[in-house]
Amino acid sequence: MNRHNRLGWRRKGFIFAFLAPTLIAFVIFYLYPIVTVFVTSFCKWDYTNINAPEFFGIKNMWDNYKYIFHTYPYFWEALKNSSLWALLGVAIQIPIATLIALAFSRKMKGVKLIRNIYIIPNMISTAAMGMIFLQLYSPLYGVVNPIIKLFNKDFKDSILLLEGPAFWAMTAAYIFFTGTTTLMILGNIMAVPEEVREAARLDGASGLKQDWYITIPMIKETLRMVCILAATGGFLLYNEVYFLTKGAAGTYSISYVIRELAITSPRTQFGRANTVAVVQILAGMLIIVIINMLFNLTWKRPTKGGKRS
Amino acid sequence: MRKNGQKVSKNRMKKDSKATRIVTVICLCWAAFVALVPLVWLLLSSFKKDPMARPGFMLPESIYLEGYISTFRDLHVMRYFGNSLLISFVSVVISIVMISMSAYVVARLDFKGKKLVNVMLYSTMFIPATALTYPVYNLVNKLHLYDTRGALILIYSCSGLAVSFFVIKNYYMNIPKEMEDAARIDGCGYVKTWQKVIFPMARPGIMTAGVLAFLNNWNEYYWASLVLIDREKLTVPALLSTFTTSFRTNYNGLFSAMVVIILPPVILYCVFSKFFVEALSGGAVKG
């Protein structure tokens, strides 16, 4: 007890000193901006009063929200696109990443080489990948138009400017590059104890069946995490929009709207940008809650293992 | 009954393994296809004198290197790599040192408000950085850091706290408590115990977090394009967005410059792929 007291202040000092830098970073980069975002989403704040945001008053406090929901032309388009990208992240990226991780986990010739090749696109910035796909889609010298011409000889447009195809072209420009996700899943698959696989094999479950009944349930925590990352990643998409379409042909995303309102547009509207940001924060949280709920529901029932075979 | 069952399962195993092999091969082919097509096409196009005359996967008539020569002569790529390297490296060092200190305190010591610290850091995972665009932009301006490399270092050091924190904290949790007691008995204070015993032991976890953070910073485009204007200070991803205007119709030059921009990280990765793969998979996959 005496020793504890003697060490008390040193201990406290140590704890404080070691926590302080992170706490300061948190306050600078997260706490202060978030409070600003929430507060000023209820303020008139644009290029006319850059330094003095002005509260609308209790009666009109929802003015920015009303503007964004009812008047601003791109909000609903952006919300729809971003939500769809979040959904596609989970529905396309995770199954692909899991299948490829399972393939990588088997002993076969060339697996290591292909595994290393598969990670390469993830080492390149999404900005550069966006630029590459912009060229791939070019009607002048790209790869996609010659293929379309095989079926439709007169096709001369850029698919990035056609409403509808533009959305899917943009999605295809990033969604298949799941290298880091695959590695995270692979890491967890390799950590499944060999005895478990052995037991499953004796039970008659091998190959894909074993993966489905044994491996997948065992890596569910990693899957939950990568689902959340893929969904939020899709929801926050910005670089691809900027490099490929700049929002043309119905491809606005929420992040793109925020940046346009706050920085790029000639009549910047900080208050309204922050209103969209509030929506983005809340929707992001909702996505995470939904994914957690889905995971809890899926794995509530005890899985039957490989017994059914 | 039992025997029968075993027989059936054995038969099934053979069948399964064939189906499994086919699926595996399909997956591997897909993986190679997806990763290679865009890159091979880019490389191919960079050798074409006039990409418009030979679109798609048509082979170049002859190998034309003018684009590469002018890239190295006029673009000063090394400067941008220097900027990227400096900014990414400094911010990784700052954030990793900072977080490995705090993570240790949270992982090993009890104190009032520990739960709050955990919740705070956890919550940063759910806060989209793009939502904070204007406040951060404003802050950078107020600190007179706009259009300086310092602004990016500040942003990168403070963002992505959560991932590094949890990776490193998990590593600390796995270090046996006896190690600290031994150091304490040897007369080490708190700081020394951390510095001499714990930090070195958690190195694999710290490396993983560091590699992840470095890759994120190296490839980061959103903030880089927001706070840097001066061409001299741009990072590599931010430089890319100037290409569409600066190359206009010189497609050969555009393709060559893109290859040059992409190559260094790819080469680095190829040389150290073992290290990257191990770090990214949490040490479970040997390269």
The span from the CA of B270 to the CA of A144, in Å, is: 29
> pLDDT-based confidence at B65, cuts 50/70/90?
confident
> Radius of gyration (Cα) for chain A, nearest Å?
25
Judged against a pLDDT cut of 70, whether residue B251 lies above it is answered with: yes
- Contact between A216 and A202 (Cβ < 8 Å): no
Of B121, B281, B287, the CB nearest to A184: B281
B152–chain A Cβ distance below 8 A for any pair: no
Judged against a pLDDT cut of 70, whether residue A2 lies above it is answered with: no
Which CATH number characterizes residue A203's domain?
1.10.3720.10
Specify the pLDDT at position B10.
Answer: 41
Chain A CA closest to residue B141 = A51
Q: Domain for residue A87, yes or no? A: yes
Give B 12-41 residues with CB within 8 A of chain A: 12-13, 16-17, 19-21, 23-24, 27-28, 30-32, 34-39, 41
Judged against a pLDDT cut of 60, whether residue A108 lies above it is answered with: yes
Q: Which residues of A touch B221 (CB under 8 A)?
A: 125-127, 239
| Domain B74-280: CATH architecture, name and number where available | Orthogonal Bundle (1.10)
A133–chain B Cβ distance below 8 A for any pair: yes
Q: Which residues of A touch B124 (CB under 8 A)?
A: 26, 30
Average pLDDT, chain A: 86
Question: H helices within chain B, ranges in order?
Answer: 2-46, 66-74, 77-108, 114-124, 133-142, 149-158, 161-173, 178-185, 190-192, 199-201, 203-219, 222-227, 236-240, 243-247, 251-271, 273-280
Specify the pLDDT at position B13.
Answer: 41
Average pLDDT, chain B: 83
The 10s digit of each residue's pLDDT in A252-289 is 999 999 988 888 888 888 888 899 999 999 998 899 89
Of A12, A33, A118, the CB nearest to B136: A33
Q: Domain for residue A46, yes or no? A: no
Q: Which residues of A touch B285 (CB under 8 A)?
A: 183, 186-187, 190
The 10s digit of each residue's pLDDT in A155-192 is 878 888 888 889 999 999 999 999 989 988 998 888 88
Written as six digits, the tokens of B277 are 């793969």
Q: Across chain A, how many H-helices and E-strands are there?
A: 17, 2
pTM, full prediction? 0.84
Specify the pLDDT at position B2.
Answer: 43
Written as six digits, the tokens of B283 are 């040490």
Residue B239's closest CA among A177, A267, A243, A62? Answer: A243
pLDDT above 70 covers a percentage of chain A that reads 94
Residue A159's closest CA among A74, A244, A256, A254? Answer: A244
Mutate to test the interface with B, among A123, A148, A155, A229 (most CBs of B within 10 A): A123
Q: Domain for residue A235, yes or no? A: yes
Say whether B277 and A119 touch across the interface (CB within 8 A). yes
Tell me which residue range forms the domain holding A174. 73-308
Q: How many domains does chain A have?
A: 1
The span from the CA of A288 to the CA of A224, in Å, is: 10
Q: Is A164 exposed, middle or buried (0-12, 13-18, 19+ CB in 10 A)?
A: exposed
A10-25 average pLDDT score: 90
Most confidently modeled of B8-17, B59-68, B83-92? B83-92
- Contact between B125 and B163 (Cβ < 8 Å): yes
> pLDDT-based confidence at A7, cuts 50/70/90?
low
